[in-house]
Amino acid sequence: MRNCIALLGLLVSVNVLAATPQELLKQYEVIAKQEDPKFAGFSAERGASFYQIERQHSNGQKVSCASCHTADPRKQGKTRANKVIEPMAIAYHPQRFTDAAKVEKWFGRNCKDVLERACNTQEKGDYIQYLVNLK
């Protein structure tokens, strides 16, 4: 019985975290509207340049999201330790942006790594919109 309850708890929490990229975009949209009354939607085009743009890191290196996720997000990327990263484009790796906790965890880590600050909601939404649209 105790096992049964534990399993149920697990199923419920997984379900709460599960999402589709479209649902995630809706959630970010709600937050973006609260943050900025002039919010006018997410833009795949802005997301694309955000993804590609090289930034001068204070450690002297040039970094971008593409440094690991590769210039073409439809392809596999690589970590600094040379481990394969599956494509970021949703059409090429359907598990992308289906787990809100994972998404927030990696936005947190990678934005800090590349921008030396957190990404704002507009940036997150633009980024996902770009990767949703890629065919």
Interface positions with ligand HEC (CB under 6 A): 63, 65, 67-69, 79-80, 85-86, 96-97, 102-103, 106-107, 110-111, 113-115, 127
d(CA 68, CA 128): 16
Complex with ligand HEC: residue 9 or 94, whichever CB lies closer: 94
Complex with ligand HEC: residue 11 or 53, whichever CB lies closer: 53
Min dist. Cβ of residue 97 to ligand HEC (A): 4
d(CA 23, CA 57): 33
Complex with ligand HEC: residue 38 or 62, whichever CB lies closer: 62
Min dist. Cβ of residue 30 to ligand HEC (A): 18
C-alpha closest to that of 96 among 115, 118, 69: 69
Q: How far is CA 36 from CA 30, 33, 54, 117, in A?
A: 10, 5, 26, 19
d(CA 63, CA 41): 27
Min dist. Cβ of residue 8 to ligand HEC (A): 26
d(CA 97, CA 113): 20
Complex with ligand HEC: residue 36 or 116, whichever CB lies closer: 116
Min dist. Cβ of residue 9 to ligand HEC (A): 23
